[in-house]
Amino acid sequence: MNHKRISIAAVCLLLSISFLSGCSGIKDTMENAERLKFKLGGIDKITVGGVNLSNVTSIDQLNFTQTAGLLATLASGSLPTSLTVNLIAKNPDTYPGGTKESSSLIKGLDWRLIVDNTELITGAIDKTIEIPGVGKQVTIPIPVRVDLFKMLGDGGLDKVINLVNAMNGTSGASSRVSLKIKPTIDTFLGGIAYPGEIEVVSKEFR
């Protein structure tokens, strides 16, 4: 009987230790994740109505075929657009409160692309992304497909080019484009989402 009681007590003790160890592991994981900083690395591969506008800053740079194609697409009442948003994630050089040289795993990431204070599109990344240890960074490409027609209204080609300039880094893009993200951190108990969104801009890590 005594041996049985001792065995039960030992099992309970081991379970308690495992639980406390697990809590400590989650705490370290979240502290490491909280150190992560994000920055908008830029937007590229911008194709509007089948025309590559990544390096176009004015209507004068379009040839006849490109202009005719864009006008025809606008006249159809749609403006299919594809682009790539480059999100940079970085582990800072310092690690107060975190585990030295520890990588962080992002299990998923919800995002909202904001252009000129207007939400352009929302989406999610549902794959695991590893952010290496202290002082290192990775670029996370986010492919985007959206119809810009409703946002542009009756602005014509001028408004199309102006919007592209906002996205590709010209005409004060740092203040015109932002990305709002909500990462989910991978732990041994599953994913734990950030409590709120992080606003990501191109001028600094946040």
Decide which of 178 and 16 is more confident.
178
Mapped onto helix, strand or coil, the DSSP state of residue 85 is strand
Cα separation values, 26 from 20, 95, 128, Å: 10, 16, 17
In this model, does residue 158 exceed pLDDT 80?
A: yes
Q: Please, are residues 182 and 196 in contact by the beta-carbon 8 Å criterion?
A: yes
Taking all residues of the chain, what is their mean pLDDT, rounded to a whole number? 79
Bridge partners of residue 111, in order along the sequence: 123, 181
Mean pLDDT of 125-141: 87
Q: What would the pLDDT profile of 6-24 be if each residue is shown by its tens digit?
A: 344 433 443 344 444 444 4
| Strand residues in the chain grouped as ranges (E) | 37-48, 51-52, 80-90, 104-115, 118-125, 129-131, 137-147, 177-187, 190-193, 198-200
3-state helix, strand, coil in the chain (%, to 5): 35, 35, 30
CA-closest candidate to residue 146, choices 77, 52, 48, 67: 48
Band (136; pLDDT cuts 50, 70, 90)? confident
Q: Rounded mean pLDDT of 109-127?
A: 93
For the chain, domain boundaries: 2-200
> How far is 115 from 47, CA to CA, in rounded Å?
16
pLDDT, tens digit, 9 for 90 and up, residues 13-63: 433 444 444 444 555 555 666 778 999 988 889 999 999 998 898 899 999
Q: Is the pTM of this model over 0.85?
A: no
Structural contact between residues 91 and 133, judged by C-beta atoms closer than 8 angstroms: yes
Chain center to CA of 63: 34
Residue type, 186: D
Among 90-104, 113-127, 129-143, which range has the highest average pLDDT? 113-127
- Report CA Rg, the chain: 24
166, pLDDT greater than 60:
yes
